[in-house]
Amino acid sequence: MATPAPAGVVVLPDAGPLITLAYADALDLLLKPGWPVQIVDMVLHEVTRNATPTSEKIGQWVERRSAPIVVTRTYQHYRAAQAAGETPPSKANLGEIAIQEAMHELALASPASTGVFLFEDHKIARASFLLPANCRKISTRAWLLFLEGKGWIASAVEVERAAIAQGRNFSRLRFPP
């Protein structure tokens, strides 16, 4: 087994990577480098609010791993609007907004650390998704290739195939190129 990656790194997955890895029964791959994984509250809500083929798997994994939940103003505002009987803000992009908020908070609170934002959404690959200098965004596929390159998994393609075989419409996005 390869030596663990350096400390000072925090992994924050978006909904897409959580769903893909859940389809592949491979959520523990988030933990392979030995970095802490934090789940953004709005993202957790997105992936567990409805019964889907992966919602229960993800919820149970977060609970079993006692994954820290990053509390965001984005999700608090969303919940407050719901509780007040108001029409909450459109859910479209709220997970990404909450992750940006979490990354900016990480940059302010711990500028020496590195945030790794895992995504699978084409719109996030655009430069308009702003992250602080100490944060990186990488696709699910790039994450799997990283793990394979480190010798932590045998094959990135096999994980992708497992997700697809279970019904995941896996992104064709390759980022970074």
Dist. CA 5–CA 9, nearest whole Å: 9
Residues 72, 74, 77, 82: is their CA dihedral positive or negative? negative
**Looking at residue 84, which CATH number applies to its domain?**
3.40.50
- Residue 2 inside a domain? The answer is no
Cα gap 91→43, rounded to integer Å: 10
Instruction: Write the pLDDT tens digit of every residue in 63-116.
Output: 999 999 999 999 999 999 889 988 777 777 788 889 989 998 988 888 888 999
In a domain, 171, yes or no: no
pTM of the model: 0.86
Domain that residue 83 falls in: 9-165
Whether residue 3 is contained in a domain is answered as: no
Residue 119 belongs to what H/E stretch? strand 114-119
Residue 36 inside a domain? The answer is yes
Per residue in 5-38, pLDDT (tens digit) is 445 899 999 999 999 999 999 999 999 999 999 9
Classify residue 176: in a domain, yes or no: no
Per the domain annotation, does 45 fall within a domain? Answer: yes
SS3 109: helix
Give the CA distances from residue 52 to residues 47, 56, 93, in Å, rounded to whole numbers and listed in that order.
Answer: 8, 8, 19
Residue 172 lies inside a defined structural domain of this protein = no
The amino acid occupying position 137 is K
Number of structural domains the chain divides into: 1
The stretches of the chain forming alpha helices (DSSP H) are 15-23, 41-48, 55-64, 73-83, 94-109, 122-125, 140-149, 156-165
CB atoms within 10 A of CB 174: 11
